Amino acid sequence: MKKNIENREDVRQLVHSFYAKIRKDAEIGYFFNDVIQDWDEHLEKLTDFWEMNLFGGKNYHGNPIAVHNEVDHKFGGVISSHEFGIWLNHWFATIDELFEGENADTLKRRARKMSTMLFMNMFNSRR
């Protein structure tokens, strides 16, 4: 039986498994492998981000909108809803493989909302 997402350790497991899939993805893996130099640091930051999202806390201090606009500019504005869809598929699949319950559903919903928001900002930041 699968478990609920209960604490930081669970979030860390989710984040690690998710990025293992992302890095191997033929269509979107290179965005990440190209930009991210220190994977330990990235995985810790994303654990902070999703932990804060679910349980509160103050460890994450970034600006995801600015970061994604920058990534999009770096690659010449090629990131579309297709790439966001692939990202979300991996996120949902990883959650479903490892967890179930209310927090699992919440993290699916929040990522979907965030993807719309990030993509709209990305799109509007193109000139």
Which CB sits closer to ligand HEM, 36 or 98? Answer: 36
52 makes contact with ligand HEM (CB under 6 A): no
114 makes contact with ligand HEM (CB under 6 A): yes
Least distance between ligand HEM and beta carbon 123 (Å): 12
Which CB sits closer to ligand HEM, 88 or 98? Answer: 88
How does DSSP classify residue 3?
B
19 makes contact with ligand HEM (CB under 6 A): no
Of 31, 124, 41, 45, the closest CA to residue 84 belongs to 31
Of 12-20, 31-39, 92-100, 101-109, the window that binds ligand HEM (rule: CB under 6 A) is: 31-39
Of 3-11, 12-20, 30-38, 99-107, the window that binds ligand HEM (rule: CB under 6 A) is: 30-38
Which CB sits closer to ligand HEM, 1 or 13? Answer: 13
77 makes contact with ligand HEM (CB under 6 A): no
Kindly report each contact of residues 94-101 with a partner whose C-beta sits within 8 Å and lies 24 or more positions away, as own/partner: 94/14, 94/17, 94/18, 94/21, 95/14, 97/17, 98/2, 98/3, 98/13, 98/14, 98/17, 99/2, 99/3, 99/4, 99/5, 99/10, 99/14, 100/2, 100/3, 100/4, 101/3, 101/4, 101/5
